[in-house]
């Protein structure tokens, strides 16, 4: 803990409460000097309660003057007499005594000191219980004191942390990384089975093993540098038990390097465990051991990087950042600075005190506070959505708890602050009026002020006149008659195929036809009963000959329409066999263009709306708007995507049917939107048939709350089918 400097008046209205108190630091409290961001501080620690506190040198000087029989007022007057320029103000003394008393670091020379100490102990336990209940996502339950066990394991810890241990660690990481790279295809394929119900028990076992090693590594590093670890237990993380340990004694290390190493030791150990798991996974066949190794590898690497190393969450990454920046209590001070900014510039409380002490902190603290808060909300929402996708009832319960802790409870605390905070004093009416005005303004903007309502849909550029060319017969690519990229006219030959066996089949069919015609003439002259059979055979041969001639004519592929012929499919296939239906290019008439977009079913509200404006931006040139002359929404469902690139199999967002190998059949029906493009070729990007883009439809303006309600409903419908 740290003492926030108070810079109020020299005299305090609450001075009479502490002036006659005789108190001094408890005999179990030790102190040592540390430097944070170039400023000296005294760090206090109670050996019995393991409480920590940080005070300035001036505050430490004042505490040293407190002794048996000395009142707070006498010690303060003595400080004024010795050095009035550096003496604490009465406001600072009141705050110092109050915080030390709350932390149970002071001994009071009065008969009821033991009762007071018990009362403070009970209050602290009450606060811990409240924090336990409110932190429903991470409830800690202490179990035992591991300090003696770590003392016995200290020789092994020193051996692991030696230069030889470091060399083995680097080699292990290299081998694990090599195993992952060599089996990268199998690595990504197996990830789809990570969260299947049958793998969840193994995933939890892997999580438990990796986190046990993680916490033991923190404890070992703390003991290695001379610290003490007196608490090990179980934390109910999202209601699942995982191990935890208390290494707060590392806060007292004078060396910043030692504090950083304690914070990073858990992640380093998990990476070593992930490397070992990678070696086991790469060398074993599918089975229980292989799945467990994969789960450990995932938990000890990916989840560690997302959670433990993230400085925006109060895990290892946060403590490492605090030590690197040398800014203790960064999380709380960032929120205190945000509170100061709100009180000073919004509520107009001119006596509000900032948490920042340096120009760097003035910028850094609110920035960290805003980013960490937004990240926490995003992470919690993501977790709730993910859990709801697997277990809807549990997800709903978590959503209710999240809403209560992040919205209802802060609102209640703010109302309590307006009602009872003594700092408001005679300005309470002004503060309430400002708060009510801002609330009404916010509600009015959300519910009454209409703002542009926009919908974004993905689509593809198409020429109004275009034709995809396919071979109508099979054969070898024999001759290119027109160079791809050229302008062609309707009926112009493009390429020729050759099928050697086709000519022999035609000749054989002609000979068979001649033979059957001769037999028919002979049968007519003799009035034979075989005439009907011969005529049926002749009809079949004639049909076959017609089909063979059609196939011979189809070997010459001509342009069905005028336009520009592009055929990237033909690069390097000269002389190769082309099956029937093979693509041989596209002919595009560049005179007229349209943009075809797909609107999912959850966006069906667009059907009954008047589209006020449409804009198209193409991928790769998002900074340029293309003018849209007219937009129409087809009021009936479609199933075939205008381009494979719009489906997930082609890198798009729409789910496609798993039974469609071409990836153009949508998994769910959609609505088709067409817009005629009228580009300004001097300012617009070059239009290419098949290019992907985004269309923004501007609908009639609506209040933000109405828009948010619709989008939430669409999200629930799309994600949970509700």
pLDDT digits 0-9 by tens, 351-362: 788 888 888 889
In a domain, 3, yes or no: no
Instruction: Tell me which DSSP letter residue 252 carries.
Output: G
Both tokens of residue 580? 């029937």
Q: What is the mean pLDDT of the chain?
A: 83
Among the candidates 400, 418, 448, a domain finishes at 448
3-class SS letters over 681-697: CCCCCCCCCCCEEEEEE
Per-residue pLDDT of 307-316, as tens digits, reads 888 888 888 8
Task: Output the six-digit token pair for 687.
Answer: 């239009």
pLDDT tens-digit map of 147-180: 889 999 999 999 999 999 999 999 999 999 999 9
Q: Give the CA-trace dihedral at 600, 603, 608, 609, to 10 degrees.
A: -120
Q: Residues 573, 601: one domain?
A: no
What are the φ and ψ backbone dihedral angles of 504, each rounded to 5 degrees? -65, -40
679 and 628 inside one domain:
yes
pLDDT for the residue 271: 93
**114 and 145 share a domain?**
no
Same domain, 197 and 246: yes
- Residue 4 domain-assigned (yes or no): no
Same domain? 197 vs 311: yes
**112 and 192 housed in the same domain:** no
Q: What is the mean pLDDT of residues 237-259?
A: 78
pLDDT at residue 1, as a whole number: 38
Q: Do 638 and 657 fall into the same domain?
A: yes
Phi, psi of 618 (to 5 degrees): -95, 150
Virtual torsion, Cα 121, 123, 128, 133, nearest 10 deg: 150
Confidence at residue 402, expressed as pLDDT on a 0 to 100 scale: 85
Same domain, 577 and 607: no
Given pLDDT bands bounded at 50, 70 and 90, which one contains residue 118? Answer: very low
Q: CA-to-CA distance for 362 and 323, rounded, in angstroms?
A: 18
How much is the average pLDDT of 608-631? 83
Query: What local confidence, expressed as pLDDT, does residue 5 receive?
Result: 41
Residue 24, domain CATH? 3.90.930.60
Reference 99, options 69, 63, 132, 126; nearest CA is: 63
Radius of gyration of the chain (CA): 39
Residue 115 located in a structural domain: yes
Residues 49 and 126 in one domain: yes
Residue 182, domain member (yes or no): yes
State how far the Cα of 172 lies from the Cα of 714, in Å rounded to an integer: 48
Residue 329 to residue 96: CA distance in whole angstroms:
17
pLDDT (0 to 100) of residue 115: 41
Distances (CA, A) of 341 to 2, 327, 347, 365: 21, 19, 9, 11
Write out pLDDT tens, residues 533-575: 888 888 888 888 888 888 888 888 898 888 888 887 787 777 8
* Domain-embedded: residue 482: yes
338 — pLDDT class (breaks 50, 70, 90): very high
Does 398 lie in the same domain as 322?
Answer: no
What is the pLDDT at residue 425? 78
Residue 492 in any domain: the answer is yes
Q: What separation in angstroms does the CA of 684 have from each of 616, 617, 619, 620? A: 11, 10, 13, 13
What pLDDT score does 574 carry?
79
Q: At what angle do helices 316-325 and 256-282 cross, to 10 degrees?
A: 150
Could you say which of 551, 585, 619 is where a domain stops?
585
Give the range among 129-133, 225-229, 685-689 with minimum mean pLDDT. 129-133
pLDDT the model gives residue 680: 62
Q: What is the model's pLDDT at position 397?
A: 85
Question: Does the pLDDT value for residue 9 go beyond 70?
Answer: no
517 or 8, which is more confident:
517
Give the pLDDT of residue 58. 85
Closest CA to 675 of 458, 451, 468: 458
Distance of alpha carbon 644 from alpha carbon 634, whole angstroms: 20
User: Other CB atoms closer than 10 Å to residue 633's CB: what's the count?
Assistant: 21
Residue that terminates a domain, selected from 84, 111, 131:
131
The pLDDT of residue 21 is: 85
Number of domains in the chain: 5
pLDDT of residue 2: 39
Place of tokens 């193994």: 202
599: nearest Cα among 549, 556, 636: 636
Q: pTM for the whole thing?
A: 0.68
- 6 in a structural domain: no
Q: What is the mean pLDDT of residues 268-276?
A: 94
The whole domain housing 284 covers 137-326
Contact 606, 699 (CB under 8 A): yes
Same domain membership, residue 102 and residue 218: no
9 within domain boundaries:
no
User: Within this chain, do residues 146 and 288 fall inside the same structural domain, yes or no?
Assistant: yes
What is the C-alpha separation between 361 and 368, in angstroms, rounded? 10
Which strand (E) or helix (H) includes residue 420?
A: helix 409-420
Q: What are the φ/ψ torsions at residue 695 (nearest 5 degrees)?
A: -110, 135
């Amino acid at each position: 803990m740290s003492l926030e400097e108070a810079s109020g008046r020299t005299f305090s209205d609450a001075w009479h409460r502490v002036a006659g108190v005789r108190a001094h630091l408890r005999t179990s409290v030790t102190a040592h000097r540390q430097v944070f961001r170039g400023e000296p501080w005294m760090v206090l620690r109670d050996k019995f309660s393991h409480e920590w506190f940080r005070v300035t040198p001036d505050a430490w000087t004042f505490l040293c003057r407190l002794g048996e029989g000395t009142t707070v007022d006498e010690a303060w007057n003595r400080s004024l007499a010795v050095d009035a320029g550096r003496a604490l103000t009465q406001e600072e003394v009141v705050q110092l005594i109050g915080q030390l008393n709350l932390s149970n670091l002071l001994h009071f020379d009065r008969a009821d000191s033991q009762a007071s100490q018990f009362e403070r102990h009970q209050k602290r336990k009450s606060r811990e219980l409240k924090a336990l209940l409110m932190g429903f996502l991470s409830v800690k339950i202490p179990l035992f004191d591991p300090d003696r066990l770590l003392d016995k394991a200290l020789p092994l810890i020193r051996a692991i942390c030696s230069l030889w241990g470091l060399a083995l660690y680097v080699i292990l990481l290299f081998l694990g990384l090599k195993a992952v790279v060599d089996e990268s295809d199998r690595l990504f394929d197996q990830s789809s089975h990570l969260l299947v119900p049958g793998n969840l028990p193994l995933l939890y076992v892997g999580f438990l093993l990796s986190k046990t090693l993680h916490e033991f590594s923190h404890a070992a590093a703390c003991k290695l540098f001379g610290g003490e670890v007196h608490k090990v237990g179980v934390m109910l993380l999202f209601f699942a038990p995982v191990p935890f340990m208390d290494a707060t004694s590392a806060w007292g290390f004078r060396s910043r390097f030692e504090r950083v190493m304690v914070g990073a030791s858990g992640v380093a150990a998990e990476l070593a465990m992930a490397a070992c798991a990678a070696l086991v996974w790469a060398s074993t066949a599918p089975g229980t051991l292989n799945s467990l190794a994969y789960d450990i590898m995932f938990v000890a690497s990916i989840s560690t990087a997302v959670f433990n190393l993230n400085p925006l969450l109060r895990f290892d990454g946060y403590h490492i950042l605090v030590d690197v920046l040398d800014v203790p209590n960064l999380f709380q001070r960032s929120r205190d600075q945000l509170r100061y900014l709100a009180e000073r510039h919004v509520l107009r409380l001119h006596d509000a005190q900032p948490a920042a002490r340096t120009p760097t902190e003035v910028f850094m603290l609110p920035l960290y506070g805003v980013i960490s808060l937004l990240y926490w909300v995003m992470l919690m929402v993501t977790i709730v959505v993910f859990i709801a996708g697997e277990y809807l009832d549990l997800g709903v319960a978590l959503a209710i708890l999240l809403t209560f802790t992040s919205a209802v409870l802060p609102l209640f605390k703010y109302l309590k602050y307006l009602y009872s905070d003594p700092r408001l004093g005679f300005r309470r009416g002004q503060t309430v009026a400002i708060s009510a005005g801002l609330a009404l303004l916010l509600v009015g903007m959300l519910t009454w002020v209409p703002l542009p309502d926009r919908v974004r849909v993905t689509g593809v550029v198409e020429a109004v006149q275009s034709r995809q060319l396919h071979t109508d017969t099979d054969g070898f690519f024999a001759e290119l008659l027109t160079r791809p990229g050229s302008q062609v006219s309707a009926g112009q030959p493009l390429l020729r195929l050759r099928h050697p066996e086709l000519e022999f089949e035609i000749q054989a069919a002609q000979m068979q036809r001649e033979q059957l015609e001769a037999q028919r003439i002979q049968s007519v002259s003799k009035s034979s009963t075989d005439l009907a059979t011969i005529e049926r055979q002749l009809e079949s041969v004639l049909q076959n000959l017609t089909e063979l001639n059609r196939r011979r004519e189809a070997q010459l592929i001509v342009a069905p329409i005028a336009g520009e012929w592009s055929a990237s499919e033909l690069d390097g296939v000269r002389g190769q066999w082309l099956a029937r239906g093979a693509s041989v290019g596209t002919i595009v008439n560049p005179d007229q263009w349209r943009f075809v977009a797909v609107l999912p079913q959850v966006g069906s509200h667009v059907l009954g709306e008047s589209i006020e404006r449409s804009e198209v931006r193409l991928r790769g040139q998002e900074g340029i708007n293309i003018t849209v002359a007219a937009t129409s929404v087809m009021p009936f469902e479609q199933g075939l995507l205008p381009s494979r690139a719009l489906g997930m199999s082609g890198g798009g967002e729409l789910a496609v049917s798993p039974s469609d190998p071409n990836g153009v059949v949508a998994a769910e029906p959609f609505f088709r939107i067409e817009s005629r493009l009228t580009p300004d070729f001097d300012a617009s990007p070059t239009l290419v048939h098949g290019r992907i883009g985004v269309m923004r439809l501007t609908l009639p303006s609506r209040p933000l709350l109405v828009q948010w309600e619709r989008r939430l409903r669409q999200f629930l419908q799309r994600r949970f089918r509700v």
